[in-house]
Structure 1
Amino acid sequence: TTTKPKIEKVKIGIIEPLTGRYAVFGQEAVDAARLLVDIINNELGGVSSLGGAKLELYVEDAGTSPDTAALAAERLISNYRPHVILGAYISRLTAAVAEVTEREKIPLVMDALVDWLTERGWNYVFRLAPRASTHGKAAVDFVLEMAKKTNTTIRTVVVLHEDSIFGTTVANGVRSQLIAKGVIPNETITYAYTITDFGPIISRIRELNPDVIFSVPYFSDGILFAKALQASGIKVKFIAGAGGCGYTDPDSIREAGEAVEYFTNTYSYNPARQTQWNKRIVQAFQQKYGKLPTEAAGIIFYSLMFVYEGLEKAGQMFPDDPLNPDNLRAVFLSMDLDDSNSIAAQLYPTGRVKLAANGENLYGGTAILQVIGGQPRVIWPEAEEGVTPIFPRP
């Protein structure tokens, strides 16, 4: 009789932008992965169905271009051949990574949002995070709901976004939801993420005099815009971010200061969700890294916990070959998770995770944070305890 091979460790790769203009996101994602691997290995005792096998994390820098991201994936695979890879936050970098992981048949759990990443017919891509267009829709639903509640008139709307596939897809979600609700955006303004001067855009905003600006920034562009708008003295009733990147995360607040007071943004993660595991992991992250986890960390929290729970199930369903990519795919697609049976679900905004055949979460959902008194606060779909959304801006 053949004895089944003893699995000492499960290799988890993570490819994130750790240098260059997106490093603020990649660093937070890797910090989150290190924290979770530590919790899984030490508090949860590793993967019990695989004899207590520990997770081992291998980190690669995706850089700032699709080429560097693809090379990072090739390097990671040729050096370590991970059983599962997570990454790469920036959608066009993630698409480049997926081309490589798909060819190599390695499951890729994506922390990038652009809708079409799950529409390419790729077999080994999985995404728990809500799609980019879902973020755009949420921003609109929130603003219109608050306008109705507070009797605030919204006549003119500007959509402002950085011009990558990420900014464009989120902004398309904003526009289509506005139109569905009978609000026609007056203008859409696009700019390159590398922008250094918002002067001409501020002049245009002054001419348009919008009641609301829906904005899709990454990081440094968001800081620059917020400061330029503040300096201009233009009064806008509300600035609603979408896409989980700028304005209301601790790093943006640190850099932009009072310029982002009362700004909101949509997130793929809700740090105020009151489940046992969410509270524990938020607290552990804050203790270790000194800041509230938001988008980049949050997506990794539930994505990596989903992988861990999948590995547990793989050991039960496929004891003879649990780490085979086709077996892992079958396991990931078979999982139906909620708060009662899953840590990953407790970390997820909607409390439900069930993947469709293309790897997309059927229960994708967002939360909205607002900067109130210089602090990031969850205000929607329900406000955290003791917090009231400020709308319109005073």
Structure 2
Amino acid sequence: MTFDTIILGAGAAGMMCAAHCGGRVLVIDHAKAPGEKIRISGGGRCNFTNMYAGPGNFLSKNPHFCKSALARYTQWDFIDLVGHHGIAWHEKTLGQLFCDGSSKQIIQMLLDELARAGAELWVQTSVTELRKTESGFALEVEREAKRIPLTCRNLVLATGGKSIPKMGATGLAYDIAHQFGLQMTETRAALVPFTFSDRRFKELSGVSLPARLSNKRTSFDDALLFTHRGLSGPSVLQLSSYWREGEAIRVNLIPDLPLFDLLREQRQAGGRKALTTELARHLPARLVDDLRHHIPMQGNLADQSDAALSDLIAALSAWRLTPSGTEGYRTAEVTLGGIDTDELSSKTMEARDVPGLYAIGEAVDVTGWLGGYNFQWAWSSGHAAGSAIASR
């Protein structure tokens, strides 16, 4: 069976690419259904893009690589597509856009676009052999217990990264890239919770509050969640992409709270109150109870000098912690790193030294922040490759 283009991976990037390739297109995935990561994203409502998506929201060895694709297919283009399909949506915090209904609406939209383009979709299909030919690529796939030989002019790697292996994530794109001599950057789990070997926050599991998490490279203001294994929440997931093992982080538990002034005022009005009682008005009581074992906060408010209050504020503003690790690919929302962008054209996503081979989405060394940015990269890179193939 001969196709113009075969796309490996029926996720966000792969289906987006298929809708724009033109010609005879086949999308292959080993999962039972397309778009599984889309289905579970955003609590089942799919955070499908971000209103503020731009190059500064992405990590890559080459921070300029993503600019071309993001500029030629923007968040507004995808929002228009969503609207065209009659999908209602709403904005949450920080420009994050979600379906009013279900993430399945986004999957169905992509399937409808696939059908409109005349592309075929084979699920529960695995690649068993792959080689380069003079005119393109030759594959053998296994489908319904049958071995089927295929050929194509263009081959698109859209199989994602290693994150969430229980959903079928593998390193297939990396293996194929290696087979054809494409270089890789280091890969690791990103947008992932921190763990602590002593499980020191087990008793605080479920406690959440606004916080600022930072290291030497960056900082993020968002919710912090204590878990039985360590730290999670948006601020933690964001920082994890910039964290390296063995590195300390700083936690500011009162980033926008004028606590020094509040405590001084209350010292005048009700000095007999215990300091911990007053702190529990501004911070979760369970957290205050835990912190009193690590930070001096004994006595009543009246016992606290300005210097003592300043020391307390400093401690709450710069709590230094060193995670033992992360939860890894098991719960990571994305894989950091991937196929080196030096190997690809930023305009077409085609491999410079392997004509007809394309790589898009999470398989590439472009990783977005939490909040819809990785989906936007999938849409933009998929569109870039698809449009390039259609124009050949």
TM-score by length of 2: 0.25
TM-score by length of 1: 0.25
Q: Bigger relative contact order, structure 1 or 2, given CA contacts below 8 A and separation 6+?
A: 2
Higher strand share: 2
Higher helix share: 1
Question: Whose Rg is larger?
Answer: 2
